[in-house]
Amino acid sequence: MPDVPFKVGDRSENKPHQHRPSILSQFLRGISTAATPALWLGLLALCGGMAVTAYIWLSSIPPLPDCKKVAPLAPDAERLYCAERAARSGKVDAILAGFNLVKTWSANHPLHHRVNRAMKEWSRSLLERAQEKAAKGDLQAAIELARKIPAESPIRKEVQAAIAGWQKERSQEAALKKAFQTALAKQDWLTAEDKILAFSRLGSGEKVQAEVKRLRQQLGRERAAWEQFQQLQAMVEYDPSNPDTLAQAIAQAEQIAPKTHTHKVARSSITGWTQSLLNLIATRVGESDLAGAIAAAQALPFEVSPPAKIRDLVWYSRAKALASRQSLGKPVSVQLQQVWMTRFHLQQVGKNSPVYSQAQEVIPQLEKQLEDLNQLQVASSAARIGQIPSLQLAIQIAQGIQPDRPQRLQARSLIARWQQDIQRVADRPHLLAAHNLAATKTIPKLKAAIAQASVIAPGRALRSEAQAAIAQWNRQIQTIEDRPILDQAKTLASQKKLKAAIQQANKIRPERALYSEAQKFAQKWTNLIQIAEDQPILSRARSQAASGNLSEAISTASQISYGRALYDEAQRSISSWSARIEAINRPMRRYSPRYRPNAYPPPAYPSAPRPYVGRPMPPPMMHPFPELPPP
């Protein structure tokens, strides 16, 4: 190979190295070559994850709205959901709120079908509530509630029919009540009873039963008032000229119950009897029977204003009655008014009056009564404040009436009453504190309440009330102490450990509060044990009876002794089996040679036999059994 001359600057020797990549470029090219599949895999995974996430988001249930924070501009679907949820509680206000929400929505609303379904459910719920009220007898409340159901309700016809029925029933009630009152006014007790019976048939609700009870009570009051009035009428008719009889009839007629029909009838009779009494007084005055006229005038009611011709005599008789006795049952203010009016009228009696001298003698006594009554009126005013100092002041004022004064007995009565009031005021805080302690119903507090109430000593005004409260709190303590015992007994019984449950319940002593309840459970569990023990015996006896061995069945069932739970049932079975044995043996005894129901046997023929013609008579028919002497 010839030599080639070498030229300066010639790099022909380095040309093979120009096409060889560098280390960095080779490294980068390797990374890019290796990263391309990973990149595509990453993009594919990202797209798949996004697709799965989107599917899960689309298929998942959206979050429920918070019905406690529904905005006024919330979507209709959200508001309807909250209305449906509130209506499920069954509360009337919530259902009515749901009606108010949807009543303005048109038929083209997207939620129209859902609204119809909701309105039907809400209407049904309200109607059921109304029917419950009607069943209790409160027809007016039922009608008012049913009328709140909108006219657009799907069950509108059913609602209207229910309202019409209740209105008819209410009209019947009103008619029966009116007829009942009419019968009472006529004293037609039988018709009134019939109306009450018809009213009770309208329903068995609480309100109907309460109304029936009220009507029966009114009927009882009316009958009692009418019987009392009839007795008064008979008494007056028997002795119409006796002033005491008239006065007694007037006084008792005034006591007739004022809200009865008889009271209205009695008012006219009272007016007539009063007039008869006035006529009797005038007659005795005309007959110069001054003593008889005064005695008759004392029977005249104080509220009656006498006529002028007997006015002086009547007021004198009243003054004499007031001076001779004290009306302890009347308030001091009433007595003060009566004494003042009587003294005033006596002072008007002229000298020409036949009772002038007697009136002048009574006036000083009335003046003494007025002094005492004024003093007692002041004391009563102080006592009405109700505080211990005021009551003590009232007692001090009343004690100023000396034993020789006219109103001394009434003063003593008022003093005794005010002393009791002082005791009540003094002891009431102790009793109130005891009640406050007992309100927690814990044993320590109840014991503290008993100790607090025991401070009220015997003989005090509130002693009986305190003792009643103490007895109640003792029973509460006993109940708290014994309740775990009874609960444990019930637990044992639920575990079929009846004997252990009975033993546990018997731990409660007879004087304890839960004794009767514990004994009821113990008896129940005892009956269960006895039933479990005796049921096989009774079943065996019934099996024997079913196979025809009635005597053996009776003997087996007789093993159940008296007082056992199945004793009555066993005795009924024994009676039935005994009757069956009797029925079986009766035909056999009838054809027995010893059985003769009659002394003479019946004839062989039921009627006379026809005569035989042309042939001999057959021998007489013999009785199937030989003649026996009568037993």
**Complete DSSP assignment for 303-343:** TSPPPGGGHHHHHHHHHHHHHH---TTS-HHHHHHHHHHHH
| Highest mean pLDDT (candidates 52-56, 168-172, 406-410) | 406-410
Secondary structure letter of residue 65 according to DSSP: P
DSSP code per residue over 95-155: HHHHHHHHTT--TTSTTHHHHHHHHHHHHHHHHHHHHHHHHTT-HHHHHHHHTTS-TT-TT
3-state class (DSSP) for residue 377:
helix
Assign 198 a pLDDT band (cuts: 50, 70, 90).
confident
Assign 613 a pLDDT band (cuts: 50, 70, 90).
very low
Distance CA 534, CA 30 (A): 99
Per-residue pLDDT tens over the stretch 462-520: 999 999 999 999 999 999 999 999 999 999 999 989 999 999 999 999 999 999 999 99
Output the CA–CA distances (angstroms, integers) from residue 557 to 542, 549, 576, 580, in the order listed. Answer: 8, 12, 12, 15
Assign 430 a pLDDT band (cuts: 50, 70, 90).
very high
Distance CA 320, CA 301 (A): 14
Assign 623 a pLDDT band (cuts: 50, 70, 90).
very low
Distance CA 143, CA 162 (A): 8
User: In terms of pLDDT, which residue wins out, 315 or 42?
Assistant: 315
Output the CA–CA distances (angstroms, integers) from residue 116 to 108, 222, 242, 478, in the order listed. Answer: 12, 56, 83, 58
Assign 173 a pLDDT band (cuts: 50, 70, 90).
confident
The residue-averaged pLDDT of 28-35 equals: 58
Per-residue pLDDT tens over the stretch 252-286: 888 888 888 888 888 888 888 888 888 888 888 88
Tell whether the model's pLDDT for residue 102 goes beyond 80.
no
Per-residue pLDDT tens over the stretch 149-158: 777 777 778 8
**Residues 6 or more apart in contact with residue 152 via CB below 8 angstroms:** 103, 119
| Helices 567-590 and 515-546, packing angle to 10 deg | 30
Tell whether the model's pLDDT for residue 13 goes beyond 50.
no
Per-residue pLDDT tens over the stretch 40-63: 666 666 776 676 666 554 554 455
Tell whether the model's pLDDT for residue 68 goes beyond 80.
no
Distance CA 322, CA 367 (A): 12
Average confidence score pLDDT of the chain: 79
Per-residue pLDDT tens over the stretch 128-143: 777 777 777 677 788 8
Tell whether the model's pLDDT for residue 104 goes beyond 70.
no
The residue-averaged pLDDT of 115-119 equals: 69
**What's the pLDDT at 394?**
93
Number of residues that this document lists for the chain:
631
**What's the pLDDT at 12?**
46
Tell whether the model's pLDDT for residue 39 goes beyond 90.
no
Q: How large a percentage of the chain has pLDDT more than 90? A: 28
**What's the pLDDT at 467?**
94
Q: Is the dihedral of CA 147, 149, 150, 151 positive or negative?
A: negative
**Residue keyed to tokens 């009494």:** 277
- Full-model pTM: 0.55
Assign 97 a pLDDT band (cuts: 50, 70, 90).
low
Burial class for 225, CB neighbours closer than 10 Å (0-12, 13-18, 19+): buried
Per-residue pLDDT tens over the stretch 356-382: 888 898 899 999 999 999 999 999 999
Per-residue pLDDT tens over the stretch 562-607: 989 899 999 999 999 998 888 888 776 655 555 455 444 444 444 4
**Residues 6 or more apart in contact with residue 478 via CB below 8 angstroms:** 512, 513, 514
Report the alpha-carbon angle 337-343-348, nearest 5.
Answer: 130
Assign 608 a pLDDT band (cuts: 50, 70, 90).
very low
**What's the pLDDT at 609?**
47
